[in-house]
Structure 1
Amino acid sequence: MSDDNQVSDEGNETFISHLIELRDRIIRAGASVIVIFFGLVYWAPDIFRLLSRPLTRNLPAGGKMIVTDVTGSFFVPMKVTMMVAFVIALPFVLYQAWAFIAPGLYKHEKKLVMPLVVSSYVLFLLGMVFAYFLVFPTIFHFMAHYNAPLGAQMNTDIDNYVSFVLTMFLAFGVTFEVPVVLVVLVRMGFVSIAKLKQMRPYAVVGAFIVAAVVTPPDMLSMMMLAVPLCLLYEFGIIAARLWAKNRPAEDADEADEAEESAS
């Protein structure tokens, strides 16, 4: 009976220690974002102007950005700066998450996690860059010229603009994660490379449906998301095939680790 109580106490202590470690890592991740935010807050107006450049450069003569909320001119740049701080701190945030789960992973799984984390971060940034430099100027140029025949002047509220931009950043950043998702699905055995090739027509249709839902209602914007999605799907198949070539060695490592833990 005492042995059972001792095992129970050890289990409770382990659970509490994990909660404490999780709390500490969340605090470190949050602190990193806050520290970077306070380091950038002085340049918040400049950061907002940089974010709004794709729109301001395409506004027609007389068009401008407006503030419809009393506190909007203060809080909107702060919101943008916080977003930038989070993106900059994201590698450290992901490291804290990886460090928390790493002790429970096999050696070959640890080797897989870091490339996936790095590639996810890079692809997310590429999605944001693609939206900022290619998609936003195209959309705003189209909308500005579309409003002209209607006799409507394009004066955009800064809060609505930031909400639109953040939504598009998130949409393009997430959709650019397609290769990582495919590699993980193949790695977990949920789908084979042959099945991915068979699903190619459905993936193309799905890409256009997602683009139609996410982007504004014009054909050019939809194509600018749908085409990269199709290309990323093909890239994901190639990446999964390259990983499959290294699968036998990883399976051998997994078998060795299982034998060591059993012994």
Structure 2
Amino acid sequence: MTRRQGHPLARIIRELRSPAYYLGLALVAATVAFTFVAPQILRFFQAHLGQELAFFTVSDPFLAQVRLAVGLALFSLVPFFTYWFWKAMAGPFGLTRTTRAWFVGFCCLLFYGGTMFCFFVTLPLGVNFLLGYQSEELQAVIAVGKFVSFVTVFVLAFGFIAMLPIFMIFGAKTRLCSRRKFESGRGYAVLIITIIAALITPTPDVVNLSFMAGPMYLLYESGIIIIKLLKIE
């Protein structure tokens, strides 16, 4: 690599510097816009998960709706984030326009598929399991702020994690990490996946950890299978 080209990481940072400003403005604008519909969406979340919410300070409802608006803004802007990310990666790693388009398309597909699966399948199972420990003497009082943080972090994290096979394909295609290394590194993958799941899971219990780590490992194995089907060594 020539001095003029520079380190790949430096080139990626330069490529992302300009769109970061506009994406930041878009995130702020989208957050403001979603603030107006956040109460209705919060009611939908409550109805979907069957939860009655409470608040303990006068600012809790407003702050909860702002957090929800930020989460919705991130959710809606994922196609733009992925487009600019892969555009920045194209130069240093020699990705063709076609490859970049496939990566953007499948990242969005996996992200939204992962968030929908989490919201309609994994999240209700986790909530029902955890609240199954309440009794007549011990009833749950769920704060609206904690509820919003739990739902948004869990769902968005699930969506981003669903992109794992794409990054594995990218690593194999650019020879950063071969399929054989992915196969021989399963033990390390389990350890790293467990640590990541523990860090991003909103609650520290084993149940939510398994709901996050289990699908992550299945995605890891599916990435190996896809790399093998694409005949990338």
Deviation (angstroms), 1:76? 1.3
Superposed CA offset, 1:210-233 (max 9, x none): 5566365245x4443343223212
Deviation (angstroms), 1:79? 2.0
Aligned to 1:155: 141
Q: Residue 227 of structure 2 is aligned with which of 236, 240, 259?
A: 240
Matches within 5 A, 1:82-97: 82-97=70-85
Contact 1:54/1:132 (CA < 8 Å) preserved in 2?
A: no
Contact 2:86/2:103 (CA < 8 Å) preserved in 1?
A: no
Q: Residue 47 of structure 2 is aligned with which of 53, 56, 78?
A: 53
Contact 2:87/2:100 (CA < 8 Å) preserved in 1?
A: no
Aligned to 1:193: 179
> Are positions 1:230 and 2:217 aligned together?
yes
Aligned to 2:65: 77
Deviation (angstroms), 1:169? 2.5
| Pair 99,139 (structure 1): closer, same or farther in 2 beyond 3 Å | closer
Deviation (angstroms), 1:177? 2.6
Matches within 5 A, 1:154-233: 154-204=140-190, 207=193, 211=197, 214=201, 216-219=204-207, 221-233=208-220
Equivalent-residue separation in structure 2 for 1:133 and 1:48 (angstroms): 15
* Residues 206-215 or 186-195, more deviating: 206-215
Aligned to 1:127: 114
One-letter code aligned to 1:175? I
Equivalent-residue separation in structure 1 for 2:57 and 2:191 (angstroms): 41
> Are positions 1:31 and 2:25 aligned together?
yes
| Pair 92,198 (structure 1): closer, same or farther in 2 beyond 3 Å | closer
Normalised by the length of structure 2, the TM-score is 0.75
Superposed CA offset, 1:191-245 (max 9, x none): 32223223335545655565566365245x4443343223212210122224445
> Are positions 1:141 and 2:135 aligned together?
no
Contact 1:40/1:81 (CA < 8 Å) preserved in 2?
A: yes
**Gaps in structure 2 of 5+ consecutive residues:** 1-12
Deviation (angstroms), 1:66? 0.8
Equivalent-residue separation in structure 2 for 1:31 and 1:25 (angstroms): 10
Normalised by the length of structure 1, the TM-score is 0.67
**Gaps in structure 1 of 5+ consecutive residues:** 1-17, 248-263
Equivalent-residue separation in structure 2 for 1:86 and 1:163 (angstroms): 14
Aligned to 2:56: 68
